[in-house]
């Protein structure tokens, strides 16, 4: 479904990503982990068209995404959420989601129907008339997911939708992600909470200082020496081995 080959990005002299390549297959849940500053969000920004890669190419369902703008990429079925949530503050939650639904819906009425369906699905239905800016962090994250879903993506990129949630909220969002997966949407997820990532993902990609450290099943990742080194340091690796 998604083929990424040799993606690189640098800001000034600062290399943020170098030669990143991977595939995502339809129906998968793929996790993207790595220490802070590893380039995870930058990778999302490149995939969604916010930045352009210096090198390499990206193919989505056989089509090249290299020269497309964010809105065009969204229309082709690849949508992303934002780590720092960006609700439309002065309109209602329903209207927020309607904006996403409108690119596929023919009329406002249909978009509203779709939006309400999705709000029901993500558990924001009771807050449908609340203004975007008055939502709590947990609800803002849900709104990000809801708006993304409203565009009816085939691949949804979730950028830390679980950060800052309490255990109760966390398990709800986890269930939501499983529901999304079962609805047939492929997921590519950035997250720091390892336990959740291990249980949700089919495959995990590890980034460190802009380089692909490794890629594999959750189990193989968790005992990879390079990953342990990146997260816990060389001393830890030396002490345990």
- Residues near another protein (CB under 8 A) are 48, 50, 69-71, 74-75, 79-82, 86-95, 98-100, 102-103, 108-109, 112, 128-132, 147-148, 150-151
Query: For another protein, which is the closer residue by CB, 53 or 151?
Result: 151
At its nearest, how many Å lie between another protein and the CB of residue 42?
14
At its nearest, how many Å lie between another protein and the CB of residue 49?
8
At its nearest, how many Å lie between another protein and the CB of residue 88?
4
Cα 228-232-238 angle, rounded to 5 deg: 75
Query: For another protein, which is the closer residue by CB, 61 or 130?
Result: 130
Q: Tokens 């340091």 map to which residue? A: 233
Beta bridge partners of 9: 17
Closest CA to 158 of 147, 171, 172: 147
Asked whether 171 and 139 are in contact (CB, 8 A), the reply is: no
Structure tokens at 122: 């993500």
Query: For another protein, which is the closer residue by CB, 44 or 206?
Result: 44
Q: What count of residues does the chain have?
A: 241
At its nearest, how many Å lie between another protein and the CB of residue 99?
4
At its nearest, how many Å lie between another protein and the CB of residue 100?
4
Q: Are strands 63-64 and 55-60 parallel, antiparallel or unpaired?
A: antiparallel
Query: For another protein, which is the closer residue by CB, 78 or 162?
Result: 78
Query: For another protein, which is the closer residue by CB, 159 or 215?
Result: 159
Number of H helices, E strands in the chain: 10, 10
């Amino acid at each position: 479904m998604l083929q990424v080959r040799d993606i690189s990005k640098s800001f000034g002299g600062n290399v943020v990503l170098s030669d990143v390549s991977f595939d995502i297959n339809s129906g998968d849940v793929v996790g993207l982990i790595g220490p802070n500053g590893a380039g995870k969000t930058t990778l999302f920004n490149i995939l969604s068209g916010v930045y352009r890669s210096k090198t390499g190419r990206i193919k989505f369902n056989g089509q090249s995404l290299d020269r497309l703008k964010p809105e065009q990429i969204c229309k082709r079925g690849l949508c992303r959420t934002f780590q720092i949530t960006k609700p439309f503050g002065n309109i209602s939650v329903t209207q927020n989601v309607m904006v996403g639904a409108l690119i596929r819906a023919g009329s406002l009425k249909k978009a509203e129907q779709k939006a309400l369906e999705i709000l029901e699905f993500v558990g924001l239905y009771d807050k449908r008339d609340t203004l975007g800016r008055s939502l709590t962090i947990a609800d803002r994250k849900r709104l990000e997911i809801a708006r993304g879903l409203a565009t009816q993506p085939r691949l949804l990129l979730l950028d830390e939708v679980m950060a800052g949630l309490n255990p109760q909220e966390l398990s709800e969002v986890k269930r939501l992600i499983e529901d999304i997966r079962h609805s047939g949407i492929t997921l590519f997820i950035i997250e720091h909470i390892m336990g959740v990532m291990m249980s949700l993902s089919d495959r995990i990609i590890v980034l460190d200082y802009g380089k692909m450290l490794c890629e594999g099943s959750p189990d193989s990742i968790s005992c990879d020496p390079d990953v342990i080194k990146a997260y816990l340091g060389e001393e830890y690796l030396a002490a345990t081995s």
